[in-house]
A and B are shown apart, each in its own frame.
Chain A
Amino acid sequence: MTAIIVLTLLALAFLLFLGLQIRRRYRATPEGERVVPPLVDIEAFRNLTDPREEEFLRLSLSRREFRRIQRLRLRAATQYVAALSQAIGCLVQLGQDARLDPNPRVAASGEEILQRALRLKVLCLVTQWKLNVAVFCPTLLSPSGGLADRYLHVTALAESLPGRIAA
């Protein structure tokens, strides 16, 4: 009998989840609930992920001190990647909106922004995993700064869209 009760609860919870997903999909997004992209200091992020900076710290500090500082740097970089991921989410939305534009040139740009932003989103996820692992062994793994450049490239594409789409 316990099995029936537990499975009933599981089924109800899952069906409720599906219902909420349908509701969420078709609910119009109110103005106040728009996702606001977070501020991302790209230069600071670049600095945190700069291999030369890391090498400088490695040479200047004792091994123990370097590990401590590098852990702090990696934790900060994780926060930056999380913020960047959120900002890229806004780029995905922008790309989706732009590709529905009646102007074929804008639609093509929107498609490109969308695809590049999706790729970046996945890259953010992988980078976050790597950074979380790197926190445990800071002397072995180094974060990559390529994410910032790619982000700026997609942002530049978004900036080139006509104002009525981006605004």
Chain B
Amino acid sequence: MNSHSLALYLWIAPHVLLFALLIGLVGKRKVLRFPVFFSYVLFETLQFCVLFVMVQMEAVSVSAYVNTDLVGRAISTAFHFGVIQELFEWPLALYPGLRRSLSRVLNSASLLLVLLAAAVISLVYLNELPKANVPAYVIEQVLDVAQCGLLVAVFVWYSFLHVRMPNQVLGISVGLGLIVGVEPLLYALRYQIASESVTPNIISAGIYHVAVLVWILFTLIPDERVVTHRAQPLPDVGAWNAELGRFSQL
């Protein structure tokens, strides 16, 4: 398989799999469980269809294709933030008030993380880039690093709440993490070292393929119905307090 065929496969196959994932989500009635993620998958599939048709049509100019791709990427990034917010809010699904408060905190945290990521990336590119004109890929790198920070916070959040992460939440987080975790490095390779090489694009598409497989796999795995962690005997709380009371009387 030459690099052109491989690139074509890696462009088409993940989107065919995304369509299968859409069917799986509808079939398993998980659409309403994660509506933003479902919308994101739907958008990615539709975006691929549009771009694929554009490539086939000779009348479409390269700049029209590039612009459409750019708009699509911007919307995808916005969806990423939405999906991460959905993952954060999932344990508090039954408390709209708490969810609203949490979403306000999350918006501030996201902004803070974007600023922090911008600081990190500017340190990384210290003296390597012109200061007056920041390339678009650097902005994408900043947003990707901020998303990595938010995904770490998702895991910390579930750990703090002591909530067992459902398979789908874990799958979405890991899949998204694979995409946004490696992309900043690939941007740097693409634009700084190997601008003519297709290798970074192939690696990027390969990682996207793996991410889609992770989403499918974790959507299909049912959450365990077996109690794997038996909690401590909490009813002893009354006894502890009685004992402490006895100590205080001594």
- Encode B215-250 as 1/0 by CB contact (under 8 A) with A: 000000000111111111111011011001100000
Set B95, B152, B189, B226: member contacting A17, Cβ < 8 A: B152
- Encode A129-140 as 1/0 by CB contact (under 8 A) with B: 000000000000
For residue B185, which residues in chain A have a CB less than 8 angstroms away from its CB?
4, 7-8, 10-11
Q: Is A100 within 8 A of B227, CB to CB?
A: yes
Chain A interface size range: 35 or more
Assess whether B133 is interfacial by the CB under 8 Å rule. no
For residue A3, which residues in chain B have a CB less than 8 angstroms away from its CB?
124-125, 128, 188, 192
Q: Count how many pairs of residues, one from A and one from B, have CB atoms less than 8 Å apart in the complex.
A: 140
Q: Is A115 within 8 A of B95, CB to CB?
A: yes
For residue A7, which residues in chain B have a CB less than 8 angstroms away from its CB?
124, 141, 184-185, 188
Assess whether B145 is interfacial by the CB under 8 Å rule. yes
Q: Is A122 within 8 A of B92, CB to CB?
A: yes
Assess whether A25 is interfacial by the CB under 8 Å rule. yes
Set B95, B128, B160, B174: member contacting A119, Cβ < 8 A: B95
CA distance A5 to B226 in the complex (A): 45
A129 to chain B, nearest CB (A): 10
Known: A28-B228, A41-B244. A121 touches B98 (CB 8 A): no
Assess whether A59 is interfacial by the CB under 8 Å rule. no
Assess whether B178 is interfacial by the CB under 8 Å rule. yes
The residue in chain B whose Cβ has the minimal distance to the Cβ of A161 is B235
Assess whether A91 is interfacial by the CB under 8 Å rule. yes
Known: A4-B192, A96-B164. A35 touches B232 (CB 8 A): yes
Set A17, A37, A44, A122: member contacting B234, Cβ < 8 A: A37
CA distance A7 to B190 in the complex (A): 13
For residue B163, which residues in chain A have a CB less than 8 angstroms away from its CB?
92, 96, 118
For residue A41, which residues in chain B have a CB less than 8 angstroms away from its CB?
241, 244
A107 to chain B, nearest CB (A): 11
Assess whether A34 is interfacial by the CB under 8 Å rule. yes
CA distance A115 to B98 in the complex (A): 11
CA distance A4 to B155 in the complex (A): 27
Assess whether A147 is interfacial by the CB under 8 Å rule. no
Q: Is B189 within 8 A of A4, CB to CB?
A: yes
Assess whether A48 is interfacial by the CB under 8 Å rule. no
A41 to chain B, nearest CB (A): 5
Q: Is B160 within 8 A of A121, CB to CB?
A: yes
Assess whether A55 is interfacial by the CB under 8 Å rule. no
For residue A88, which residues in chain B have a CB less than 8 angstroms away from its CB?
162
Q: Is A40 within 8 A of B237, CB to CB?
A: yes
Q: Is B160 within 8 A of A6, CB to CB?
A: no
Known: A3-B192, A11-B181, A118-B163. A167 touches B245 (CB 8 A): no
Which 5 pairs, one residue from A and one from B, show the smallest C-beta to C-beta distance?
Answer: A89-B162, A94-B231, A92-B162, A14-B181, A7-B185
| Given A3-B125, A119-B98, 5 new contacts (CB under 8 A) | A4-B192, A21-B155, A34-B230, A89-B161, A115-B94
Instruction: List 28 A–B pairs whose Cβ atoms lie within 8 Å, in order of A's numbering.
Output: A2-B126, A3-B188, A4-B185, A4-B192, A7-B141, A10-B145, A11-B185, A14-B148, A15-B177, A17-B155, A21-B173, A21-B174, A22-B170, A22-B174, A25-B170, A39-B240, A40-B240, A40-B241, A41-B244, A90-B162, A91-B234, A92-B161, A96-B164, A97-B230, A119-B98, A122-B102, A125-B160, A166-B235
